[in-house]
Structure 1
């Protein structure tokens, strides 16, 4: 067992701090209360000295371990045909990528990894921990979402190959065509009707039975509206990822009650469709009650800087408490894993981070990172 004494705990549900001890048994939080005393002589006791303890941070949109510095490029995009729903992010994952160490030493303990946005339908995302000796050790849920992309990326990839889609019209048509086939396949499956096995359509069964959402890459406002239109036409759950110009229609998006994944917000605008990005967008969405999560889109923004960028948003009106929520309980809810992570509660995963100051301040250091009850990073005196 592991006992953290004298913790200043961030309660992500209430948005406040309180003093308590935390007892960890195995991979779970066993108890959160003051003055915990244990008789087990093998218990490892750490005096946190009233430093802040947060739930492990969650990066809800990343290509970490899939987009590494190597001669063969990246393993996140298979840009030879625009519809690849059978591809799985975990099969392109290198669990030994050095970026994982940078992630957990910065407080990030959970990420959603997803295929890139070169294809209109890129494949199956997964939710993983940032520490483990194998892919299997790291997985929380796989598949966890179906990645779609609207806008410039599929256009640019396939127009260069003189293939379809080379327009937004074709991207939308191809996506809807496959969803129509998948919906019919799902209905036949649900009603026990005989049909020929189709691996691509089989991949959509968890989408249509409500087990996982569409994860839709969108920047421009018209693409955001198209994403909503497609998801509503087929009555399936979805998230809006990047959602760069979404702040221009915040009231409309609020009505849809859809999770929004914002970022990267401080990167150079390399595409026309990101030129109207605004660092005020998180505050605008948050003020309207939209469930926002802050994302790195690693490696396009190195995930180790995500907490610092969250802190910078205070300059643009996002309260520090709301910034912390956007890295903890909000993405946990958006990814439907808040029964396991996102807050410090009994029976949840023991993913904990100890800071020597305000977690989102530039001068603050991570002192301790715990994932599944194991100390994976330590910088204590």
Structure 2
């Protein structure tokens, strides 16, 4: 489908300003961005006069489709063993989960869906578009990160069973031991060229730095434990939740780490959450961290992220930095900024048309376009 968006106010996240122009969409991509485009061929015309056009928003930490709510329908945790790297998020996602419709009607076009945090090494995260009939339709990248978890969650699963890990020492020790075995396997393969072991091959993209670890960590000491292990092995990683990150700034200030904060409006249901503060968003941003805001669905819904950031802007967060937290920052954290996160020629045609400022609670999404198709229309 060819689509022409006419006369929109297009937001440039890299420059932090609006431009008035038309956008031509063709073959699922943004083909042209120019004022007064002269297009005479047959296409779908969208009049965006007086409306604002933004890149599709991105939620880089979600269990959408895997976890229908907080009490049942949980396919995100395989808690029969604390180390399950072979679990794949895409094998647990229901593409007909109504939450996909909810968030694309709120302007979200891409999500990273991840296994839960019940296990130390929980499995493989996947990147999906929020529109499609099957996982194949939605899939961007099936193995985009390997999920790890530090802190209370693995302890609370296995400790009551009198299994390891029942302590933070065991969490770090077991993760370190697993990675030592994986590195040894890769080294042996290079020397001896023996037949591949499917299980240990799962770690190859991590060891070869093709993909990052995706690390669940709330408390400051858990964050630092995760960093120690990653630096020991030379891994790439993102720090997800990062609840006490603002309290250990001096220890991490020189590290270029993608930080995925969230969920917002968090209930402090565990001891490791008691020092959480919404002020951390502004403070960490001012300290230079590249922050993405995430929902951790179903513990929050992505449609509330823009409202939360609107409140943060009211309290002093820079507006463009807030928009980046839902666009180019998560795109970079997920290694797909060449495809999504900003409105540029050649990128995926994931665009959202609003009747106002997307961070203003009274604003509505008029049209959501995903992969060059109209995925939602308010009309």
Range class of TM-score, shorter chain: over 0.9
| d(CA) in 1 for partners of 2:369, 2:20 | 19
| d(CA) in 2 for partners of 1:370, 1:163 | 48
| d(CA) in 2 for partners of 1:70, 1:179 | 31
| d(CA) in 2 for partners of 1:212, 1:196 | 23
**What's the counterpart of residue 334 of structure 2?**
335
Which has the larger displacement, 281-290 or 88-97? Answer: 281-290
**What's the counterpart of residue 22 of structure 2?**
21
Distance verdict in 2 for CA 1:297–1:71, change over 3 Å = closer
Distance verdict in 2 for CA 1:62–1:71, change over 3 Å = closer
1:220-270: per-residue Cα shift (whole Å, max 9, x none)? Answer: 000000010010000010000000000112243331101000011212111
Question: What SS does the corresponding residue of 1:165 show, helix, strand or coil?
Answer: coil
- Asked whether the equivalents of residues 8 and 53 of structure 2 are also in contact (C-alpha less than 8 Å), the reply is yes
| d(CA) in 1 for partners of 2:252, 2:199 | 30
Shift of residue 69, structure 1, vs aligned partner: 4.6
- Asked whether the equivalents of residues 57 and 108 of structure 1 are also in contact (C-alpha less than 8 Å), the reply is yes
What are the ranges of 5 or more consecutive residues in structure 1 without an aligned counterpart? Answer: none
**What's the counterpart of residue 7 of structure 1?**
8
Alignment partner of 1:187 is 2:187 = yes
- Asked whether the equivalents of residues 57 and 327 of structure 2 are also in contact (C-alpha less than 8 Å), the reply is yes
- Asked whether the equivalents of residues 25 and 372 of structure 2 are also in contact (C-alpha less than 8 Å), the reply is yes
Spell out the pairing of 1:272-283 with structure 2 (5 A cutoff). Answer: 272-283=271-282
Alignment partner of 1:204 is 2:203 = yes
**What's the counterpart of residue 235 of structure 2?**
236
| d(CA) in 2 for partners of 1:50, 1:22 | 15
**What's the counterpart of residue 302 of structure 1?**
301
Shift of residue 200, structure 1, vs aligned partner: 2.6
| d(CA) in 2 for partners of 1:172, 1:165 | 9
**What's the counterpart of residue 59 of structure 2?**
59
**What's the counterpart of residue 154 of structure 1?**
154
Question: What SS does the corresponding residue of 2:357 show, helix, strand or coil?
Answer: coil
Distance verdict in 2 for CA 1:196–1:160, change over 3 Å = farther
Shift of residue 302, structure 1, vs aligned partner: 1.4
Alignment partner of 1:321 is 2:317 = no
Question: What SS does the corresponding residue of 1:256 show, helix, strand or coil?
Answer: coil
| RMSD after superposition | 1.4
What are the ranges of 5 or more consecutive residues in structure 2 without an aligned counterpart? Answer: none
Alignment partner of 1:33 is 2:40 = no
Spell out the pairing of 1:1-381 with structure 2 (5 A cutoff). Answer: 1-40=2-41, 42-69=42-69, 73-189=73-189, 191-195=190-194, 197-380=196-379
| d(CA) in 2 for partners of 1:200, 1:177 | 15
- Asked whether the equivalents of residues 250 and 284 of structure 1 are also in contact (C-alpha less than 8 Å), the reply is no
- Asked whether the equivalents of residues 214 and 236 of structure 1 are also in contact (C-alpha less than 8 Å), the reply is yes
| d(CA) in 2 for partners of 1:359, 1:24 | 22
| d(CA) in 1 for partners of 2:140, 2:350 | 13
TM-score by length of 1: 0.97
TM-score by length of 2: 0.97
1:72-122: per-residue Cα shift (whole Å, max 9, x none)? Answer: 630000011100000000000101100000010000000000000000000
| d(CA) in 1 for partners of 2:308, 2:235 | 32
| d(CA) in 2 for partners of 1:72, 1:330 | 32
Shift of residue 192, structure 1, vs aligned partner: 4.8
Distance verdict in 2 for CA 1:28–1:204, change over 3 Å = same
- Asked whether the equivalents of residues 115 and 122 of structure 2 are also in contact (C-alpha less than 8 Å), the reply is yes
Question: What SS does the corresponding residue of 2:326 show, helix, strand or coil?
Answer: coil
| d(CA) in 1 for partners of 2:22, 2:282 | 33
